[in-house]
Amino acid sequence: MNELAIALNRALEGTVVAELFSDLGRRLYFPKGIVAQAAEAGKRAGRLNATVGMAVTDGQAMHMPSIKAHIQGLTPNEIFAYAGPTGSPELREAWKREMLQKNPSLAGKSTSLPVVVAGLTHGIAVAADLFVGAGDVVLMPDLCWDNYWLVFEDRLQAEVRTFSLFDERGGLNVGALSRALKRHGRSKAIVLLNFPNNPTGYSPTAAEAEGVLQVLAERARAGQRILALFDDAYFGLYYEEALYRQSLFAEAAGLHENLLAVKVDGPTKENLVWGFRIGFLTFAAGGLGAEQYQALEQKVKGAIRSSVSSSSQLAQSLLLKAMQGSDYEREKLAAFTVLAGRYRRARELAARAPAPLKALPFNSGYFMSFALENAGAEALRRSLLERGVGAIAFGDRYLRVAYSSVEEERLEELYGLIFEEARKLTR
């Protein structure tokens, strides 16, 4: 094992992080190579800097004017230069400030500084590389994003085990999570929760959120070392007053020394920048201090350096400029208002669903889903395509509808066509 990895592991000895590391996580480190030496030169080589493999003129990145002409308000370095492996320091600080603003329960708690990753999928993959390996078990709700299987099972040879997202009353099945953790039995437990949920568009109420946190705390006190991975891809898009409006990460942070909370979030959905491929990875656990968070960040840097190397400089610069602008909150609210209108209309229409469709509970995010009484989701999807309508079949039991991507005035047409084709399945 590299001596740098050994030193980082030593800094993390006795913490839940060290207990949870995968074999790859233990081996990862950030080398003192080109990137590290270039970063040092960037601070000290004020005379001549011959480190980075870039072409520079007058201190700015050389570039093609035909490209620069399409991007106004940014310097060449803000557009064309390499970003550091962990991202723009200014953006990281700005994102943490916004995270604290949105999650007041984080006040006074110790967390890492968010690290920039190349989209939320990359953030999940980096966390998985650090903590998930062959033979590990990842617990998650049965209704979840299909890419999780590719990340955890196919890439890393772990096993995904699911528990029921909803209970018999149509609420969050907190009891199923508790039973899944108890049945798992191993000292190392990995739990992934995604709210607002994809594909259902469900977020917990305050009481349900408290139930989840109580379960995690109970199992941590019982001696399980828990990695609680919170996929907050649709965070902020809450349309009902009774919902828990913080990330579960906010109160899981520092909940117990046996629990490592990991927040994966980003501007993709709420800030309408899907193609930017920018996300953030933040860690928190009881008993971790600045030295431990710095060691963990070096591990993350190693994972990033050995995969994508760094995220888009242009995307980071544009996001930072927007966050610093006077119109930022107003523009986000305008987008939210449009999505909330589509949500309300979708709820009205989904309530009229005929057999064999039944709308699953939804209250947030981009989506809602129908359960089919028996099966036939794939047949329904294909018949809708023949009518020029796209929807997603999850297995053969569920049909996901992204009402976010259809103008409000056309939602009645969308749901009408879904209902027409669904009725044909019962004939």
What CATH number is given to the structural domain containing 203?
Answer: 3.40.640.10
Instruction: Give me the residues of the chain with pLDDT under 70, please.
Output: 33-35, 38, 40-41, 45, 48, 427
Residues 279 and 339 in one domain: no
In this predicted model, what pLDDT tens digit does every residue of 24-75 receive, in sequence order? 999 999 998 666 776 766 777 677 677 778 899 998 999 999 999 999 999 9
Q: Tell me the HSE value of 229 on the side-chain side, using a 13 A CA sphere.
A: 27
The verdict on 335 and 317 lying in the same domain is no
What pLDDT score does 44 carry?
Answer: 79
What pLDDT shows up at residue 426? 79
Domain count, the chain: 2
- Domain closes at, from 298, 324, 350: 324
CATH number for the domain spanning 375: value is 3.90.1150.10
- 305, 335: one domain: no
**Phi, psi torsion values for 196, nearest 5 degrees:** -55, 140
Same domain, 282 and 400: no
Task: Choose among 247, 248, 254, 259: nearest CA to 190.
Answer: 259
User: Is 73 inside any structural domain?
Assistant: no
Instruction: Say which residues have a Cβ less than 8 Å from residue 86's Cβ, sequence separation at least 6.
Output: 92, 115, 116, 297, 300, 301, 304
Enclosing domain of residue 172 = 3-30+85-324
pTM of this prediction?
0.96
Orientation of helix 328-350 relative to helix 411-424, angle to 10°: 30
- Is residue 80 situated within a structural domain? no
Q: Does a structural domain hold residue 188? A: yes
In this structure, the answer to whether residues 341 and 363 fall within a common structural domain is yes
Q: Where among 305, 324, 343 does a domain terminate? A: 324
Q: What are phi and psi of 184, to 5 degrees?
A: -55, -45
Indicate whether 139 and 192 sit together in one domain: yes
Whether 257 and 314 share a structural domain: yes
Residue 416 lies in a domain: yes
Give a yes or no: residue 364 inside a domain: yes
Which one-letter amino acid corresponds to residue 2? N
Q: Is residue 268 part of a domain?
A: yes
Reported as a single tens digit per residue, the pLDDT across 300-328 is 999 999 999 999 999 999 999 999 999 99
Q: Is residue 26 located within the same domain as residue 126? A: yes
Answer whether residue 373 is part of any domain.
yes
Give the distance, in angstroms, between the CA of residue 117 and the centroid of all CA atoms in the same chain. 10
Answer yes or no: do 213 and 266 share one domain. yes
Locate 360 and state its tokens: 């699953």
Residue 290 shares a structural domain with residue 420: no
Note whether 234 and 376 are same-domain residues.
Answer: no
316 lies in the same domain as 333: no
Is the residue at 313 inside a domain? yes
Domain boundary among 324, 355, 378: 324
